Structure 1
Amino acid sequence: MSHAAQAYARTSQTTASPREIEAQALLKAARQLQEIQNNWKGPDRNMHKALMFNRRLWSIFLTAAESNENPHSLEVRQNIANIGVFVMKQTIEMQMDPDPAKLKSLIEINCNIAAGLSGRG
């Protein structure tokens, strides 16, 4: 990558809105999970890394939803928490009984929420 491209990438990251940063993180997690699903060879290091990244991301969302400083309505925060709990359960299920089909819901959730955050939903 050229120096100009690197500078642009740094600038675009620092000027992105929090919603866009969240959307980008969700899409990154979805891409990682999709890669595992598309190239399934059984549970491996890459699967565990992708699941861990997604779980950490959703842990952040869950923590934010529980925060009293969160500006969203209680209903929105509860919806985020409910989705987060579902994501955590699906992740545990995938780790205990790996099956690439179980990644579908995690991928779809991340893509749909990212689209909503980006105003494309």
Structure 2
Amino acid sequence: MHNPTQAYGKTAKVVANPREHEANLLTKAAQQLSAVKDPFEPRSDKFRDALIYNRKLWTVFAGSVTGDDNPLPDQIKQNIANLGIFILKHTVSVQASPSPEKLDVLISINREIAAGLYQRPA
């Protein structure tokens, strides 16, 4: 499935742990971005699709966290929303001037957030 919005909605219904589900989606996005880093072919469909998937995933995250019904503390909501904005801007930068090094930021953020989500809250 290439649409993260559909993947999120369908899988969230059957996954008992939403944190793990979100971590899995971020890990998938990081893997897709890593796969297009070497060999680096910025004109390929695979490259474009990896960026689109990551952008849509972060659009969903940023949108869902800002809702009034989201139980997260306001500071965490704001941080996730700001991170989403950064990801979207950085993605535009990657598209405008592609380089494999620019993918590192997106890959790293996805992996770090996923690692945090995989950890059990205290």
Q: Report the TM range for the smaller structure's normalisation.
A: 0.7 to 0.9
1:92 aligns with 2:99: no
Q: CA separation in 2, counterparts of 1:71 and 1:88?
A: 24
Query: CA shift at 1:42, angstroms?
Result: 3.3
Gaps of 5+ in 1: 1-12
Q: Which structure is larger by alpha-carbon Rg, 1 or 2?
A: 1
Query: CA shift at 1:66, angstroms?
Result: 1.3
TM-score by length of 2: 0.84
Query: CA shift at 1:65, angstroms?
Result: 1.7
Deviations 1:29-57 (A, max 9, x none): 00000001122133311111000000110
1:19 aligns to what?
A: 19
| Matched AA of 2:115 | A
1:79 aligns with 2:79: yes
Equivalences for residues 19-98 of structure 1 within 5 A = 19-98=19-98
Q: CA separation in 2, counterparts of 1:91 and 1:64?
A: 20
Q: CA separation in 1, counterparts of 2:23 and 2:113?
A: 7
2:26–2:114 CA contact under 8 A, matched in 1? yes
Q: Secondary structure at the match of 1:38?
A: coil
2:102 aligns to what?
A: 102
Q: CA RMSD in A?
A: 1.4
Gaps of 5+ in 2: 1-12
Q: CA separation in 2, counterparts of 1:60 and 1:85?
A: 12
Structure with the higher helix share, 1 or 2: 1
Q: Report the count of equivalent residues.
A: 108
Structure 1 ranges of 4+ moved more than 2 A: 13-16
Query: CA shift at 1:16, angstroms?
Result: 4.2
| Matched AA of 1:32 | Q
Q: Percent identity?
A: 42
